[in-house]
Amino acid sequence: MHVVARVSNLLRGLLTRWIGRREHRHPDAVYEAAIGERVAQYGKLRHAAAGILYMRSKLARQLASESAELFRVGRQLDIAVEHDDDTAALALIGRRDVLAAEVDRLTAELTELTREAEGAKDNLIAFQEEIVRLREERVRMLARLANAKARLRFQATLNGLSTDADIRALEEVRDHINRLVAETQVSRDLGDSELERRLGHIREAEAERTARAQLEELKRVRDGRPAPMALPDAAPAR
């Protein structure tokens, strides 16, 4: 028996946790259920209040009828006493006492029903206010929830932790573009280096040629050889 109770408690706890997770995922449904429950209770209370009001109206009419009858019997009793009709007077006294007791009973019941009707009216107003409050709270809390989720998504995006497909796609495109730009920069750097190397060779060859020409000029001057005559350019063929 103890094991069964423990298993029952365990299952109840698991079910409660499962329901709680579901409620957290669907707060709108929780609010709708709560509002629907209040509306159903309001309907039952309104039906009960209508019954109380009907009974109060019925008792009020009955009390008015019995009070009128008591007043009429009282007048008849006065006439019987005035005419010394003891038999009629005794009968009317008995009738008056019965009517007086009935009037007292109806008055007490009507007072109680009136109090219950006022209480039912107050409860109806309270339920109406509760339903309105829940509906306003639902709108307000769901708006706060949406705002909180948006802020969390924004923060996750800033931290690079967003799980949205569009954000991930944008990040991948940015990475791809950055890689292409880097590859282009590397290729350009390599191309510039090769060109610079070739230009360097040309500059070195030019410098060597100039140096050799200067050396030949120095040797010519030293040996007293005449300067070489510059040959005229050949005339273009006609």
H runs (alpha helix) in the chain: 2-25, 27-82, 86-158, 165-223
Which one of 121, 139, 163 terminates a domain?
163
pTM value is 0.48
Instruction: Of 21, 31, 36, 39, give the one whose Cα is nearest residue 137.
Output: 31
Last residue within a domain, chosen from 112, 135, 163: 163
**Residues 41 and 157 placed together within one structural domain of the fold:** yes
- What does the pLDDT read at residue 28? 82
Would you say residue 114 lies in a domain? yes
Domain count for the chain:
2
Q: Can you give the pLDDT at residue 70?
A: 92
Does residue 78 sit in the same domain as residue 127? yes
Cα separations in angstroms, 200 against 6, 204, 206:
90, 6, 10
Distance CA 101, CA 67 (A): 11
The pLDDT value given to residue 14: 44
Residues 171 and 152 in one domain: no
Same domain, 187 and 81: no
Could you write out the DSSP letters of every residue in 109-123? HHHHHHHHHHHHHHH
Query: How far apart, in whole angstroms, are the C-alpha atoms of residue 20 and residue 11?
Result: 14
**CB-side exposure of 23: number of CA atoms within 13 Å?**
11
Backbone phi, psi, residue 160, to 5°:
75, 20
Same domain as 189, residue 94: no
Each of the 238 residues of the chain gets a pLDDT tens digit; together they read 555 555 455 545 544 554 455 545 567 888 888 888 889 988 988 898 898 889 999 999 999 999 999 999 999 989 989 888 888 889 989 999 999 999 999 999 999 999 988 988 898 898 889 889 988 988 888 888 888 888 888 787 777 655 566 667 778 888 878 888 877 776 666 656 666 777 777 878 888 888 778 777 777 777 777 766 655 554 544 4
Q: For 195, how many CA atoms within 13 A lie in the half-sphere containing its CB?
A: 6
What is the spatial distance between Cα 113 and Cα 62, in angstroms, rounded to a whole number? 14
What domain range includes position 170? 164-223
Alpha-carbon distance 150 to 159, whole Å? 14
Residues in contact with 60: Cβ distance below 8 Å, sequence separation at least 6, in sequence order: 110
Judge whether 108 and 92 are in contact, CB under 8 Å: no
| Per-residue model confidence (pLDDT) at position 101 | 94
Residues 184, 143, single domain; the answer is: no
pLDDT at 115: 92
CA contacts within 13 A on the Cβ side of 126: 8
Same domain, 139 and 86: yes
Residue 72: closest CA among 48, 91, 47, 99: 99
Q: For position 65, what pLDDT does the model report?
A: 93
- Both 110 and 55 in one domain: the answer is yes
Instruction: Identify whether 208 is part of a domain.
Output: yes
* Per-residue pLDDT, 185: 74
Query: Does 151 share its domain with 118?
Result: yes
Q: Looking at the domain assignment, is residue 52 inside a domain?
A: yes
- Token pair for 35: 């509002």
Together in a domain, 103 and 204? no
